[in-house]
Structure formats: structure tokens, C-alpha cells
Structure 1
Amino acid sequence: MSDRVPTTGRQFEIRHDATRAVVTEVGAALRVFEVDGVPYSETYAADDTPPGGAGAVLVPWPNRVADGRWTLEREPQQLALTEPERGNAIHGLVRHTAWTVVEHAESTVVLNAMVPPQPGWPAPLLTSIGYHVDAAGLTVTHTVENLGARAVPFGVGVHPYPRAGRAETDECTLRLAAGSVVPVDPERLLPVRPPRALEGSEQDFRSGRAMAGVLLDTAFGGATPRPDDPDGKVRHRLTHPSGQGVELWADPVFGWVQVYTADDYPGRGRAVAIEPMTCPPDALNSGTDLIVLSPAESWMARWGLRPLG
């Protein structure tokens, strides 16, 4: 047996009866989520680089920062351009970090990571993510704590690829709990105008749209719970006519969602990422829906995946 550590670091499996998830040490990413052997998120081999950011945790900002530049208390900041072809900083600072396990039980694993002061990010944060499986599916809990001496704004997102069981993506219907879309520059995928309402638009997925032929790398806003939702959760769904499906639910603070369709997901072909976010693209510059933590203050929110059918 080889002692070589996989590309994504150690693998942490959690189980509850027939429900199983695997979380990686590097990036604290969801690599597997399945029930009775049926996949409800796209997966990849532990020795592979996560394709298309699969499962990535996006802290202290999701999506993009234009030119990697933003300002904290009138102090200019310059982040590394981690999307150099578009001249952006993308998806935060912890995707390639080896996270520390603070709890690993049969059905739960909790990991944390420091975001230390560094070029472009002068404020220290401690972030954690907890994964828990039970009869209802998967629940993911994010926390962020300000370890510094001044208030700091941030955002949180995650990059799962939900999957409707064994159904092909193009045979499924996508329904989003989003009422607006963010117009972006098609070259850099940065906002060019305020979000616009979806009424009458081909990008309106509130009643569900077939995935066949749909190409998206699009940020949607106005994601809110239905008035009759007993739990007050935002709910996005990917479903197949057979009844197979998956629901991504989230606390209302995840009022934004990026949807990305991949044509070449390894071993799968067409796949769709449904990425709950607390703020829109380039929020470190616009300030829209940023969360601000005072020194020693902490924040917590949850999302999850629920098999349907």
C-alpha cells in the first residue's frame, strides 16, 4: 500500500446509515456525497486537482475582485491575480490551504483554517466548516471569526456541483430561487450594471428550465425563501422527470447564487455548479451585501444538499 498523500491531502469520510460524504484536507472541499451509492454531487479522484473548482470553499470572498484591488479603511489593497487571463482575484484565499481537523466523528467532520494577514488582505480571520450527514442529507456549517483589531468586511461562498442521482444533466430541469441577474462584461465576468429583474427573461429559472443547451457562468441575486417555506430557507433544485433530484438549500444570508455549466467535467461531460454566495461578484469594491465583523466577533450560516425522489 502506498504512503503517498493524494493531491487533495487526507480524505475524511463521514457516514450515517447509507448516506456518505468525503471531505478533503486541502481546501476542505466536498469530494463525495452519495446515498445508497447514488451520487448527489459530482465527484473526482483524490489524486486529481478538483475540476472546475469542485467543492471549493470561497472565503473571504466568493467570485471575482476586479484587478485584485479593493480598499479597506481608505488603505488600497492589492490581491494576487489568481485569474490572470481575466485580470481578477478569484474565489478567496483558502482553496489551496491544508485545513486543520478539529473534530471527526462518524457522521461529522469540522475543519478550520487561518486567513493570516498577507498582501491584499491585512485582517486575520479564523474560518471553519463543518460537514454533517444524517437521514435528511448533508448540512454544511460555516463560521468566520475576526481575530484582528479592526472591523473587516468579507463574503462566503462554496462551489458544489449538485447532481440529480444517475440522471444526465441535460435531461434535468433547473429551478432557482433567484429574482434578478447580474449583467457582466462577457470578457472578464465583472458586473457592469446593477442586477436586473428576471421577469420575461430567458434567464428566469424560478419555475424551472430544461438544462439541454443552457450555457451559464452567471450570478443571480434576490434569492429568497418562498413565503410558505416552513424553515425559511432558500431552495434551488435540479430534478429529472423520473423523480430523481437534488435540492441545495441555504440560509437567507446566501442571497446570491452563481451558476456555471461545464461541458467537460471529467468522466461526466455536462455538469452544473450551483454556488450559494453571501454577496455578488466584486463585492469588495461595491460593498453590496458584505458582512462586517468587529474585532472578536463571529458569524455563522448553513447550507446543505437533500436528495429528492
Structure 2
Amino acid sequence: MHDPLPATGRQFEITFDSARAVITEFGAALRVFEVDGVPHTETFDADRLPPSASGSVLVPWPNRVADGHWHLHGESQQLALTEPDKNNAIHGLLRHAPWQVVEHSASALVLQATVAAQPGWPVPLLTSIGYALDEQGLTVTHTVENLGGKPVPFGVGVHPYLRAGEADTDECTLRLAASTVLPVDPERLLPVRPARSLEGDEVDFRSGRKLEGVWLDTAFGGATPAPDDPEELVRHSLTRPDGHGVQLWADPVFKWVQVYTSAEYPDRGGRVIAIEPMTCPPDALNSGTDLLTLQPGEAWTAHWGLKRI
């Protein structure tokens, strides 16, 4: 008889010097990231499903698909409505699936899962996620491979809730490397118009803005590296009043970032903020905006990460 598993399965810890991360078996979610014992992501109990998709891996699409309906090669596809109150399919197909360990060392972990052909998604995919700690912080590596016989579009995202240590979210400053915002229907959070420029907009966070009184469930686009960035990475950050906090960096393929503020996170006083890098916007399976495409047998790789600043 096996010992009972927590709701999120086995817990995989990696460490490097004073940095520590914990990843779940079911969903491959980032449950902990801390440095010197200071948290830089929100955490949750291992025996509780990730609240509000905390730390989740969003494959083969991030965010929402309107009515769960889209077309592939002219054929109608119907996904399960996993956000029934809004009549949407949300956040991909692997949030609660078991992921298999491919590699686990003291400072690195690689997990792998298959997106099986199924109603609404007829082309199988093999995907992996690698978490690695070093002196720079946490690096996350995604791969997606088309196992089927036809080309398939896809997108990738993740759903970390960031923390600037012990500072209250309202005291923190948010900076985003995004130049557009996507107008959405406030009831279903689906796009209603093309993305618009942030020039002069109240939700322009490029120069940083304190979060007190700011509520967001918003997709930002046009995320690009700064012209003088030697690594050519997209960089978003959450910092406390002394200027220290956490930076989320990503390869330029992560052109979008969803930002979500909430006062309903278990065991956390005050508000929390999710900063979610995405390769495409909400409902991209229908709009086609920034969708990636894999030919049969082709694989794709990209990276993002977290570092203390």
C-alpha cells in the first residue's frame, strides 16, 4: 500500500547556495521560490490544488479560448469548458496532469508530459519544463514537440504570483516591458478590439507605478527587450519601496504578459499579483495573433526566469 500523496503529488526540491525552489509532480507548478528564506513567489499548501492557477504551466495555450471552440485545418474543434462561468476553455490541458521526472539533481529538475490527442486537441504534443537554480536565480526552460502528422499551432504561458519579499503588494511598484494593452469584455475577459498603444494610458507601467488602488486582470502586449539590454531579454519587475524585489525575465518570444491582482489567495493577508509571461494573447487559437506553429516532428524551446534584485 502506498503512502497517501498530497493533492499536487510528489514535491521536488532544488537548491543552490541560499536559493530554493519546490515544484509539484501534478501540473509541474512552481510552488516555492525563495532566496535566503525570503519568498519571491506566493506559495500554497502541497495538499491543496494551486489556488487561482498559482505557479501553473499553461500548455498548449495560455489564457482563454472563447466557448472552447476553434478550427484546425478547417475542422471544428471543441475543448472542454474549464471556465464554465465564462463559457471558456482556460489555461491549456496540463494544469493537473502528472509530469514524469526526466532529470533531478541538487539544483535542477526536468519534468515531461504528453498532451494526448483528445476532443478539441487532435494533435499530440510532447512537452517538458526544466527548472534550474544558479547564482543568477531561477531559469525555466520549456520545450514542445509535435508528435503528430500535421502542423499544429500552440502557445505557452506560466502563472507565477510574485512577491517582493515580505512587502505588501500595495507598497510595491510594478514595471512592465509592454507597450500595448488588449481591450477585453469585462464579463468574459475576451478580446473585443485589437491591442492599443499604452502612450498616455493610465495602465502604462513601463516607467513603474505603485500598485496601491490598482486592480488588474489585463493582457499587455508589445513586450520587448530594452534597446540597451545586452542579453536582449524582456524584463518585468516587482519592487518594494527600497528598490529591491524580484525580476521576471523572458526570451523575446514571450511578447505578452497577463497581470492579475487579487485579494483572495489562501493564507495570505492583503492582495497578491500574478505576472504571467505568455507567447500569445487571450483567444489566440481563434485570432491567430502571435500563435506559434510546429511542423510534424519539429520542436521548440524558450526560456524565462526569476532573479532577486
In structure 2, the residue corresponding to 1:299 is in which secondary structure? strand
- For 1:286 and 1:55, the matched residues in 2 are separated by 26
Alignment-mate amino acid for residue 259 of structure 1: V
Partner of 1:291: 292
In structure 1, the residue corresponding to 2:84 is in which secondary structure? coil
Contact 1:167 1:244 in 2 (8 A): no
Q: How is 1:14-163 mapped onto 2 (pairs within 5 angstroms)?
A: 14-163=14-163
CA deviation profile, 1:217-255 (whole Å, cap 9, x unmatched):
000000000000010000001001123310000000000
Between the two proteins, the alignment pairs up a number of residues equal to 307
Q: Does 1:220 align with 2:220?
A: yes
Structure 2: 5+ residue stretches without partners: none
CA deviation profile, 1:6-51 (whole Å, cap 9, x unmatched):
1100000000011100000000000000011000111011111211
Alignment-mate amino acid for residue 276 of structure 1: P
- For 2:301 and 2:277, the matched residues in 1 are separated by 14
Shift of 1:267: 2.0
Shift of 1:265: 1.4
Shift of 1:166: 1.2
- For 1:190 and 1:70, the matched residues in 2 are separated by 14
**Percentage of matched positions with identical amino acids:** 71
- For 1:68 and 1:47, the matched residues in 2 are separated by 29
Q: Does 1:210 align with 2:210?
A: yes
Alignment-mate amino acid for residue 189 of structure 1: L
Partner of 2:232: 232
TM-score by length of 1: 0.98
- For 2:40 and 2:295, the matched residues in 1 are separated by 38
Contact 1:114 1:125 in 2 (8 A): yes
Q: Is 140-149 or 242-251 further displaced after alignment? A: 242-251
Partner of 1:172: 172
In structure 1, the residue corresponding to 2:263 is in which secondary structure? strand
- For 1:242 and 1:228, the matched residues in 2 are separated by 24
Structure 1: 5+ residue stretches without partners: none
Shift of 1:162: 1.2
Partner of 2:243: 243
In structure 1, the residue corresponding to 2:85 is in which secondary structure? coil
Shift of 1:113: 0.4
Alignment-mate amino acid for residue 63 of structure 2: N
- For 1:129 and 1:295, the matched residues in 2 are separated by 20
Pairwise CA RMSD: 0.8
Alignment-mate amino acid for residue 259 of structure 2: V
Q: Is 249-258 or 265-274 further displaced after alignment? A: 265-274
